């Protein structure tokens, strides 16, 4: 998802008990820890299947139903934690035909089994619940339901909850480290409306004279915040794309009044986008489940195989170019960006929300690859350089671990520039393509960490990029390339937070570029022209001293 600022986890309860502080001056609560830490009560079981089965009462903005947890015990256990916001009431928890006790603490629920569940055994329980879920005030930048209407006055409902928490509307183990292997999503809505969720539509059932149930099956691992519902009187049209893994179904669900605009806009963007992304990243990760674009009453979200679209059929980002170059007005930003997340975010998912740059940095960089496909490699570099004006350099891109907190919103623009610099340093586009495709092969359909990604880049590039990533991810500042002239020689060095920072950089020497490798001590070079680093491809400061 594109956000101007990092999304702060919102809790519905007043929090008074302090747990610990990971950053000077920042206190994290017991509730933060319960939500963000993979504790023993969460790591003791691996969720393998959910069946979310709820009814939507649109008039009263109310949901009711159940979620089945099928899991494998990773250790002997008699207690576990799942998550559900405190404003939603649990009617009962059913285990082998009997109700079992539970306790709640903030948005965490602790379930006690009548006897020990042995390691490696399979088991299940069902949570029955209801209530009025959180309403998003400014979706998708804050989480919750959006209750809107189309131009005919018919209901138009959707949910978005990245960062805020999937447990704001359904019970689950709300931690990114555990993606359920597969899932059934059953949504019951008033007659005359349609629900579109993730995966494939398995069946439509007439529940009674007033309600219809839509059953969607997700056949791939999916992270919790990607699980979605979209309810409206939708028009549907479809297409297909012949890609690396064969025929990919393309299904589009839009408001009826926008059908013709949607056909034009989607046809202009979707297949060219898949040509680019499959070339650079590998096959679309979710062929069995297909690809959907769904019109929503908010801007957009990367819901797996069910991408939310609300850009009003405009090119750019709501008609604006985030790069200021004009290059961003040639394509629909939300289609390109949110679909890029199918590879980075949905296929490759960070274990902890603190590492969300893996989702956002690579995905914003994917925009530059799309620009490059249209207007050339120099244009792609120009686009990435253009988005720098949005960088705040306010705090590190990495957030604190274990407390469900993201780092700086710079994970988007600065993260994309970091990825572009990595490509520039590798200086071999064939190898770079192999690395991007390899990332999706190595870490696809699983969760990962910053260390995993950086180690992979080091190994496959043959370069030690650790200091580069440490500087740009762990510190707010960017490195300063200092220089001075002494006679016919130019002296240069890095000033950086990372000890012994030594990133190579390109500079102009006459009419050509050449590589130099500054360190934190002065080095010398004789140049034919003034000291001119390549600022199109390197996001650095240059300072004469």
Q: Considering 311, 326, 344, which residue would you say is the last residue of a domain?
A: 311
What's the average model confidence in pLDDT over 475-498? 97
Confidence check: pLDDT of 419 > 60:
yes
Q: What is the count of structural domains for the chain?
A: 2
Domain of 168? 36-311
Confidence check: pLDDT of 80 > 50:
yes
Please write the tens of the pLDDT for every residue from 179-208: 999 999 999 999 999 999 999 999 999 999
Task: Tell me, yes or no, whether 378 lies in a domain.
Answer: no
**So what's the pLDDT on residue 403?**
97
**Is cis: bond before 313, omega within 30 of 0?**
no
**So what's the pLDDT on residue 544?**
97
Confidence check: pLDDT of 282 > 90:
yes
* Under 8 Å between Cβ of 371 and 320: no
Higher pLDDT residue, 26 or 355? 355
**So what's the pLDDT on residue 24?**
53
Confidence check: pLDDT of 436 > 90:
yes
SS (H, E, C) 342-370: CCECCCEEECCHHHCHHHHHHHHHHHHHH
* Percent of the chain whose predicted confidence (pLDDT) is above 90: 94
**So what's the pLDDT on residue 221?**
98
What are the start-end ranges of the E strands in 75-191?
77-83, 89-95, 98-99, 102-105, 108-117, 122-131, 144-149, 155-160, 182-190
Task: Tell me, yes or no, whether 251 lies in a domain.
Answer: yes
What's the average model confidence in pLDDT over 64-76? 98
Confidence label for 130 from pLDDT (cuts 50, 70 and 90): very high
Q: CATH no. for residue 251?
A: 2.60.40.1730
**So what's the pLDDT on residue 25?**
61
Task: Tell me, yes or no, whether 284 lies in a domain.
Answer: yes
**So what's the pLDDT on residue 473?**
98
**So what's the pLDDT on residue 26?**
76
Higher pLDDT residue, 1 or 448? 448
Confidence check: pLDDT of 162 > 70:
yes
Question: How would you label 201-229 residue by residue, b for 16+ Cβ within 10 Å and e otherwise?
Answer: beeeeeeeeebbbbbbbbbbbbbbbbbbb
The whole-angstrom separation of Cα 84 and Cα 210 is: 29
Task: Tell me, yes or no, whether 427 lies in a domain.
Answer: no
Structure tokens at 531: 């000291």
Dihedral sign for Cα 152, 155, 158, 164, please. Answer: positive
Confidence check: pLDDT of 10 > 50:
no
Contacts of 390 (CB under 8 A, 6+ apart): 4, 322, 412, 413
**So what's the pLDDT on residue 20?**
30
Q: CATH no. for residue 498?
A: 2.60.40
**So what's the pLDDT on residue 12?**
30
Please write the tens of the pLDDT for every residue from 509-538: 888 899 999 999 999 999 988 999 999 999
Q: Considering 253, 277, 311, which residue would you say is the last residue of a domain?
A: 311
Confidence check: pLDDT of 17 > 70:
no
Please count the other Cβ atoms lying within 10 Å of the Cβ belonging to residue 490: 19
Confidence check: pLDDT of 16 > 90:
no
Contacts of 501 (CB under 8 A, 6+ apart): 467, 471, 479, 494, 519, 520
Please write the tens of the pLDDT for every residue from 341-350: 999 999 999 9
Task: Tell me, yes or no, whether 260 lies in a domain.
Answer: yes
Tell how far CA 402 is from the center of its chain. 18
Please write the tens of the pLDDT for every residue from 21-69: 345 567 899 999 999 999 999 999 999 999 999 999 999 999 999 999 9
* Percent of the chain whose predicted confidence (pLDDT) is above 70: 96
Whole-number average pLDDT of the chain: 95
Confidence label for 2 from pLDDT (cuts 50, 70 and 90): low
The whole-angstrom separation of Cα 405 and Cα 182 is: 27
* Under 8 Å between Cβ of 149 and 231: no
Task: Tell me, yes or no, whether 103 lies in a domain.
Answer: yes
Task: Tell me, yes or no, whether 418 lies in a domain.
Answer: no
pTM: 0.95
Task: Tell me, yes or no, whether 94 lies in a domain.
Answer: yes
The whole-angstrom separation of Cα 231 and Cα 233 is: 7
Q: Considering 250, 280, 311, which residue would you say is the last residue of a domain?
A: 311
| DSSP-derived pairing of the beta strands 348-350 and 144-149 | unpaired
Confidence check: pLDDT of 215 > 90:
yes
Structure tokens at 487: 């006679």
What's the average model confidence in pLDDT over 302-325? 98
Please write the tens of the pLDDT for every residue from 362-379: 999 999 999 999 999 999
């Amino acid at each position: 998802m594109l956000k101007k600022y990092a999304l702060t986890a919102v809790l519905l309860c007043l929090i008074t008990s302090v747990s610990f502080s990971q950053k000077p001056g920042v206190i994290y609560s017991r509730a933060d820890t319960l939500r963000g830490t993979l504790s023993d009560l969460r790591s003791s079981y691996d969720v393998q299947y959910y069946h979310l089965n709820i009814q939507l009462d649109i008039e009263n903005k109310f949901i009711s139903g159940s979620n089945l947890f099928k899991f494998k015990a990773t250790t002997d256990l008699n207690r576990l934690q799942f998550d559900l916001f405190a404003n939603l009431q649990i009617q009962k928890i059913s285990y082998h035909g009997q109700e079992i006790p539970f306790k709640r603490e903030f948005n965490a629920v602790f379930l006690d089994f009548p006897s020990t569940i042995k390691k490696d055994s399979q088991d299940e329980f069902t949570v029955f619940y209801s209530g009025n879920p959180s309403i998003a005030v400014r979706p998708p930048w804050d989480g919750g339901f959006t209750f809107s209407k189309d131009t005919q006055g018919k209901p138009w409902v959707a949910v978005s909850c990245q960062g805020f928490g999937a447990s704001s509307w359904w019970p689950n183990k709300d931690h990114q480290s555990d993606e359920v292997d597969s899932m059934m999503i059953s949504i019951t809505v008033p007659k005359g409306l349609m629900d579109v969720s993730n995966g494939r539509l398995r069946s439509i059932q007439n529940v009674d004279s007033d309600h219809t149930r839509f059953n969607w099956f997700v056949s791939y691992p999916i992270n919790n915040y990607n699980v979605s519902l979209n309810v409206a009187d939708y028009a549907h049209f479809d297409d297909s794309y012949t890609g690396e893994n064969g025929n990919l179904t393309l299904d589009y669900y839009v408001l009826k009044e926008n059908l013709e605009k949607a056909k034009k806009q989607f046809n202009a963007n979707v297949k060219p986008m898949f040509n680019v992304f499959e070339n650079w990243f590998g096959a679309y990760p979710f062929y069995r489940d297909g690809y959907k674009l769904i019109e929503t009453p908010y801007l957009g979200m990367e819901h797996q195989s069910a991408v939310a679209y609300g850009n009003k059929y405009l090119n750019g980002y709501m008609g604006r170019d985030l790069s200021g170059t004009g290059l961003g007005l040639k394509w629909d930003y939300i289609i390109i960006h949110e679909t890029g997340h199918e590879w980075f975010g949905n296929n490759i998912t960070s274990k902890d929300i603190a590492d969300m740059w893996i989702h956002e940095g690579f995905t914003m960089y994917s925009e530059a690859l799309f620009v490059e496909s249209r207007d050339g490699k120099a244009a792609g570099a120009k686009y990435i350089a253009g988005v720098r004006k949005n960088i705040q350099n306010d705090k590190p891109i990495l957030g604190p671990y274990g407390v469900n907190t993201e780092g700086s919103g710079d994970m988007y623009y600065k993260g994309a520039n970091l990825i572009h610099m990595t490509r520039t340093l590798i200086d071999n586009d064939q190898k770079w393509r192999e690395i991007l495709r390899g990332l999706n092969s190595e870490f696809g359909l699983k969760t990962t960490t910053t260390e995993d990604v950086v180690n992979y880049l080091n190994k496959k590039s043959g370069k030690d990029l650790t200091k580069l990533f440490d500087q740009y991810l762990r510190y707010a500042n960017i490195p300063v390339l200092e220089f001075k002239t002494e006679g016919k020689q130019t002296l240069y060095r890095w000033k950086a937070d990372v000890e012994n920072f030594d990133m190579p950089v390109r500079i102009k020497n006459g009419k050509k570029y050449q590589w130099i490798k500054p360190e934190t001590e002065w080095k010398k070079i004789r140049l034919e022209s003034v000291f001119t680093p390549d600022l199109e491809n390197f996001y650095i400061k240059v300072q004469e001293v």
